[in-house]
Chains A and B, each alone.
Chain A
């Protein structure tokens, strides 16, 4: 097939599936499911076909012309988009198949599958976009699909609030991104990515404060989308959506979009060292902040959510330290093992109807053997245990940080990696090695198997990826047109050391038979409270920004009703008063008319006489 057909197949095929599932098959969920899966499968075929064809020239079509601006939309088919496109389509398909089991009893699943298709379409179109504005459009649509999926159970007030929060927090970032993008336009009159990134004629030449401003504004959008401090608070709340949605949101779509955008624009960022410092600082702080919260959370999805925030910080650190490969590699491995972890957690949640890791453990979480094996692999990969995928990609980030000579950030990353190993192992131990197991009798007749094949197959596939993907680093680097640096064993030691240390500490706290089952941090109650309360950031926002917004809208509302509305009424009333006052002159009283006439004639006479 020719490239255009493949590209259209890869991006557009979920769109008709979305429409058909939502509008035509809303009352026939099983058909809607089939249509949605078919659409995404086609997209996967298309993206694999594109990958096999290898990088080619971008395809472009006229799209928008106004004044000096002429924009083209199309497909950018370089190594990065080809690779990531396959990852997106594959993970989305896994999640859809898994959802066949997870959502089997939900009456609204036609809408659910339609929204997943919308998600796939928006994300794939974002990945292949050739034009920065085109990227922005689908970036926003990815956000829209997240909004609908996070709020999928919109009858629950928490879900509705979480969806709203996600939309607003990312939108705050998007304001910056939008301004940044619009600032580019007068300089170039187009948004064509290859042209913008051209080392000789592109924006890189601009350098200086202008480029720093633009990249910083773009980074604001990334902070929102990839849930970095201070806009990260929406992501943990987004857990209100169905668990497979979380798997998708945290791996290959939504939050990945931010990192992907930074990877796309990497040459621009590299030309703006001021911005890079800020990115490094924000990402390192976020990685630490969210790791501390994850180590005290008891809700399995919250642990995973904060770990996503932390790992996204790692990716951005890698990119900001100058290594495109490190960032993209970790983005891809993380997508696989994080999807795996969420899908595993979904099995427990589906079966035990609780998110609390301690309860899952006590009620026999480990009896779901295949899932627990998947959890172990995913946890190992997340912790960075060799030779699982996460180890290799995290290693690249450490290497990049080490090369940069930024000791401070290197140490911050080491601490964050230590905490990651700690909370990941803690999660695993709480589920797999509980202090006691309460046997409970399960009535399987109405529940079905706890691990149906449609749920296990995606888990198995992702587990294979989480084990093996690390060895494909060289191939991934080659796709990006880079040669991976060779790392000495000695340089890996600190990172491996902190991972082992973290896991050992978690075993000491939670795993061993006589474990106290409370974290070491509980020894410092103030810190423990700070972490449990998520550093009081939500409270701070509520107290300051929400209140400020309420006050301003109250002020404007008062102006509208008191000044404009009442003012208008006053004008009307005075007109009426003036009219009724004037009408008193016409009282039909002949004597009054005669008197008034004589008065005014007298006045006129006086005036003439005195002149």
Chain B
């Protein structure tokens, strides 16, 4: 069974079925999506275990020629990185559907767009063809607009527009970059495996790499082009925030990895110092800005800027110095860990928001005694964000810090010091919203704490964070060989 196509086919079939279903069959729509998420998760787990981590490299390759004249083919395959990120996407898809279980407004349309987004993300993580990669990338990005505009909250028109402008500006950089790669290679093929065998002219690489890095980097929330991300997080409905921060931002980092660093290694090395500094600024900057936010989701939004800075820093450090393997492992591990963590964050904040209709920190206070379960889950996500050992984020941060200390000691010391800043803004949220005397305004919430099925998606996410927190080799074994192979290009 071609496993990658099967994974891709699950949401595609779901989408077709959804389109055929009557909009009033709300319950059937929910169950269909949940089952689809479950099936995709099961297949992704199978992929995760079936991937031969000792052999490494691209596996489960499927190749069908499509437009032979220009060399476009449907070519999917998964390396260690893809395997891990596909698993992440399935996880966020499944838990995201469960998070939106109580949605009542235009349910069918909502899930249509959400499944479309999921298809795009899967496509990017498995495509080995530049054309399809870009195609799926756009499929993943565009549904964000209606999703925020229709189901969002707050200043949603502005947020949706801002997001679209930034991401399309990124695509506008990306598209010429990709075409330039195609043209420069002169191989009449979009196949990345083939393109990777071509050694591009060093000057071309230096010229072309920023197009790819910045184009994808915008989606990864890179400083200073991060502005769309917190605004978008805040306005989006819970599960969209989950997908958005959890997997969509990883598309950007994955693009840098799979296209930029793989095809243009000399360009990556040339630009790495500059982009390392920007990423390090992003880490510190995001933490400081998060400290002053008055809205739950803005805090998480800026924490994402900070945490994605760790990913980008890791990617850049991978091209430099002898701790490259650690940096790259750290970056990929952080993509996964941050994805699960933010999914938990938004899933939980969404739960609280749906009941309290407020996301303003100062409105709460003492919520811990009123909704102990929801608050505990948020605290777990927060501690993960603060890099607490025993939760998944600790390992990637350790690896990236290690590489930073070896390559740029000043940056290393600064970002490790940033751990204190992270703790400050996370603890501030706890103190403002959860601790202290309970606010009588929310007494009604006592009976509405999470129970039964509502706990399921969050419990899954917590279990994943704890599992990888205590057994990092489950992740590292899968990606080690791929990391080594990619580093061989520098």
Contacts and interface: CB of A to CB of B under 8 A. Distances in A.
Interface string A137-155: 1101100100000010011
Contacts of A171: 419-420, 423
Contacts of A137: 389-390, 394
A544 to B, nearest CB: 15
A603 interface: no
A183 B405 contact: yes
A122 to B, nearest CB: 9
B289 A553 contact: yes
A26 to B, nearest CB: 8
B50 interface: no
A589 interface: no
A171 B326 CA distance: 24
Contact of B419 (A68, A154, A174): A174
B230 to A, nearest CB: 9
A556 B289 contact: yes
B412 interface: yes
B288 A155 contact: no
Given A68-B325, A141-B390, A554-B292, A186 B435 contact: no
Contacts of B395: 64
Interface in A243-289: none
A553 B291 contact: yes
B292 A140 contact: no
A110 B308 CA distance: 38
Given A164-B427, A185-B402, A154 B389 contact: no
A120 B419 CA distance: 25
Contact of A160 (B226, B436, B477): B436
A159 B437 CA distance: 11
Nearest to A64: B472
A160 B431 contact: yes
B394 A167 contact: no
Given A63-B472, A178-B401, A164 B326 contact: no
A168 B420 CA distance: 7
Contacts of B416: 175, 178-179, 182
A213 to B, nearest CB: 11
B120 interface: no
B405 A179 contact: yes
Nearest to A173: B420
A4 to B, nearest CB: 18
Chain A: interface secondary structure?
helix
A564 B437 CA distance: 37
A62 B476 CA distance: 12
A160 B368 CA distance: 11
A140 B423 contact: no
A140 B386 CA distance: 11
B369 interface: yes
Interface in B276-294: 285, 288-289, 291-292
Chain B: interface residue count, which band? 35 or more
Contacts of B329: 66-67
Nearest to B291: A553
B233 to A, nearest CB: 14
A157 B227 contact: no
A572 interface: yes
Given A140-B389, A164-B427, A67 B435 contact: no
A334 to B, nearest CB: 27
Interface string B388-416: 11100011001101100110000011001
A61 to B, nearest CB: 10
Nearest to A185: B402
Contact of B326 (A62, A66, A183): A66
A560 B289 contact: yes
Contacts of A172: 420
Contacts of B28: none
B189 interface: no
B473 A63 contact: yes
Interface in A34-64: 62-64
Contacts of B389: 136-138, 140-141
A552 interface: yes
Contacts of B401: 178, 182
B417 interface: yes
B323 interface: yes
A161 B480 contact: no
Given A167-B427, A179-B405, A568 B436 contact: no
Nearest to B161: A572
Nearest to A567: B227
B10 interface: no
A140 B427 CA distance: 16
Contact of A67 (B323, B417, B423, B472): B323
Nearest to A63: B473
B436 A157 contact: yes
Contacts of B71: none
Nearest to A62: B473
B288 A144 contact: no
B419 A66 contact: no
A202 B366 CA distance: 51
B435 A160 contact: yes
Nearest to B324: A67
A219 B369 CA distance: 38
A586 interface: no
Interface string A555-599: 111001000110010001000000000000000000000000000
Nearest to B327: A67
B460 interface: no
B287 to A, nearest CB: 9
A483 interface: no
A140 B395 CA distance: 14
Contacts of B388: 140-141, 144
Which of B226, B366, B389 is packed against the most chain A CB atoms within 10 Å? B389
B256 interface: no
Given A64-B395, A175-B416, A167 B423 contact: yes
A453 interface: no
Contacts of B476: 64-66
Nearest to B469: A137
B153 to A, nearest CB: 19
A552 B420 CA distance: 14
A104 interface: no
A162 to B, nearest CB: 11
Contacts of A136: 389
A345 B165 CA distance: 64
A560 to B, nearest CB: 5
Nearest to A136: B389
Contacts of A63: 471-473
Interface in B328-381: 329-330, 366, 368-369
Contact of A168 (B366, B424, B472, B483): B424
A118 to B, nearest CB: 10
B398 A155 contact: no
B383 interface: yes
Given A63-B473, A179-B416, A182-B398, A161 B423 contact: no
Contacts of A174: 419
A236 B368 CA distance: 25
Contacts of B399: 66
B472 A154 contact: no
A65 B289 contact: no
Contacts of A65: 473, 476-477, 480
Given A157-B436, A564-B224, A572-B165, A179 B477 contact: no
Contacts of B427: 164, 167-168
* 7 A-B pairs closest in CB distance: A67-B325, A160-B435, A137-B389, A556-B288, A553-B291, A154-B435, A557-B292
5 contacts: A155-B436, A171-B419, A172-B420, A175-B420, A549-B291
Interface of A: 62-69, 133, 136-138, 140-141, 144, 151, 154-157, 159-161, 163-164, 167-168, 171-172, 174-175, 178-179, 182-183, 185-186, 549, 552-557, 560, 564-565, 568, 572
Given A137-B390, A156-B437, 6 more contacts: A64-B473, A155-B437, A168-B423, A179-B413, A182-B412, A186-B323
